[in-house]
Amino acid sequence: MQAWISNVISEQQLSANTKASVVKTFLFILCLLPLIYLVWGLFTDNLGANPVETLTRSSGLWALRFLLITLLVSPIRWYTGLTAIVKYRRMLGLYAFFYASVHMLLYLGLDQLFDIQDIWKDIVKRPFITVGFISFILLLPLAITSTNKMMKRLGGKRWKRLHRLTYLIATLSCVHFLMLVKADIREPVIYMILLSLLFFVRLFHSLSKKKLVSR
Amino acid sequence: MFFRKQKSWEISESEVTDYEIYQNRRQFLNTSLAVGLAGALPSMALADVAKQPKPFSDVSKSPFSTDEEKTDFESITTYNNFYEFGTSKQDPAINATAFPDESQPWKVVIDGECDKPGTYDYQDLIKAFTLEERIYRMRCVEGWSMVIPWIGFPLADLLKKAQPNSRAKFVEFTTLYDPKQMPGQRRAVLDWPYVEGLRIDEAMNPLTLLSVGLYGKELLGQNGAPIRLVVPWKYGFKGIKSIVHIRFVEDMPQTAWMKANAREYGFYSNVNPNVDHPRWSQAKERRIGEFLKRKTLMFNGYGEQVADLYAGMDLKRYF
C-alpha cells in the first residue's frame, strides 16, 4: 500500500516536471524568436538602410520588454493564482540580460570599435549613454546571482533585496529611451506608463497585505 | 434620471456616418472607382499607387561632385527624416507616395527684403535655370551619412533674380503646411510649418543647391518634392524640404529645431567633429551601407569652399 502511494506521487511529480520542462523549452524558443528574426533579417538584407541601427534599437527594446515581462510575473501570480509561473521568471530575467548584452556589445563594437578611451569619453559626455551604461552595470550582479547556488549562498531575504534592483534598472532603461528620442516621445512614454502600472500594482498589493496583517 | 425614447423615425447613433467619412465622400467614390478600374487595368493601377518620377534631360556635371561611391537609390528613398510624414525613418516612404498632389500646382513665394518679390509656379520657376548633377555627401546630425547624386541649380541664381536689398541679412525658408497631405503635421511634434534659415552669404555660396531631383529623376515625396534645399557642409536637417516660401529677412530666423530645443540645435549647424551634440558624438559617422563608423570631416569635407565664411567665429559657441 505504502509503496503504491509513493509510486503514484512520483508519477504525478514526474508528469508535473515534464510539463514544466516542456513549457520551459517552448518559452526558451519563444524568447529567442526576436534574435532569430534579427539575424535572419541581417542575412537577407531585411533590416532597412541602416541595419546596425535596427539591431541596436531592437535589442535594446527587447531588453526593456523582457524587464517589464519579468516584473509582470508576480502580479500575475497574485491575481490569477497561477503560482507555477514563478518557475519561468529566472529565464525571462536572463533573457532581459541577454538582449541587454547584445545591445551593449553592438554599441561597444560597432559604434566604438572597442576603443576604451572613446567609450569612457562617451559615457561621461552623453547623459543618455551614462544612464544606459549604469542600468547595464546594475544588471550584472542580478545575472551573476541568478543560480540556485548563489540564491542559497545569499539567503532568500538578501537575494530578494538585491533583486529589487530590477525596478531601478527598468526605470533607468525607460529614462535612457526617453533621452535618446529627438522629438517624438510617444514610444518611450508608453513604456513609462506600463512600468508605472507595474509599480502601482505592487504598491496596491503590499498595502492590502499590510491591512490584512493589522486586522 | 432622464430617459429618452428613440422615435420610430430616428436611427441609432451608431448608424450615423462619421463626419470625417461624410466629408471625404467624393474621395471615397474616387478611390472606389479607381480600385474598380485597377482590377480591370492592372497596368494603370500600378501607375496610380506609386508616382513614377520623370527623368530630367540635359543635366550637366559639376566640378563640386565627389567621386565617392553613391548610396543606393533604395536607401536614399526609404531611410528619411521627414517628420511631416511621420517620425520613423520608414514613414515618409509609405506616407508620401502621392505627394505632392498634382491637382494643386506648386507655388513658391519669394518676398521680404528684395526689390522683385513674386509668386512663382514651380514649373515656370525651374525652367529659367540650367540643371546640373551634384554628387554631395550628406551628414545627418544623428551620426549617419550618405552620398547623393542631386539634380538642381545654385540657390544663388534664384536669389539674385529677386534682387535682395541691403537689409537682407538672412534667408528664411518654409515648408508647405497641409495636414491633409502631410499626416505628420496633425501632431505637434514640431512647431509646424518647418522653418529653416541661412545667412545671406551662406545662401549665396556656390555649393548651396536648390534640388529638384536625384539619380537623374524628379524628387520623390519622401525626399522633399518638388523642391528642397541642400547645404552639404551642414547637418541634414538644414536641408529643408518641399519649400513654398523663401523670404529675405534682417534678423536671424528662428528655425523649427531651434524652437524645439535651442540647447541642442544651433542656427549654423555646420558639420563639426569637434563640437558634440549632447546626444550624438559628432566625431564619427556611419556611412549607409557600411558597418563600421568612419571619421567625420570638418564642414563635411567642404572646408575649402566654406571655411572662410566662418573666419574668426568661435564655432563652439555658434554651433
| pLDDT tens sequence across B136-164 | 999 999 999 999 999 999 999 999 999 99
Whether domain B60-267 has CATH 3.30.565.10? no
The helix-helix angle for A165-180 and A186-214 (nearest 10°) equals 160
**Overall average pLDDT of the A31-58 stretch:** 95
Residue type, A111: D
So what's the pLDDT on residue B9?
A: 62
Query: Quick check: B165 and B232 in contact, CB under 8 A?
Result: no
Percent of chain A with pLDDT over 70: 91
Percent of chain A with pLDDT over 90: 75
Structure pTM? 0.83
**Residue B240 annotated as binding?**
yes
For residue B37, give every residue at least 6 positions away whose Cβ sits within 8 Å of its Cβ, in sequence order, or none.
B44, B45
**Overall average pLDDT of the B29-55 stretch:** 54
User: By CA distance, what is B141's nearest residue in A?
Assistant: A182
So what's the pLDDT on residue B36?
A: 46
Choose among A102, A104, A91: nearest CA to A146.
Answer: A91
**Residue B228 annotated as binding?**
yes
Tell me which chain B residues have a C-beta less than 8 angstroms from the C-beta of A184: 83, 87, 189
Question: Is this prediction's ipTM beyond 0.85?
Answer: no
Instruction: Give, in order, the Cα–Cα distances in Å from B60 to each of A50, A163, B73, B151.
Output: 31, 66, 20, 9
Across the interface, whether the CB atoms of A125 and B279 are under 8 A apart is answered no
Q: Looking at the partner chain, which of B78, B281, B283 has a beta carbon nearest the beta carbon of A49?
A: B78
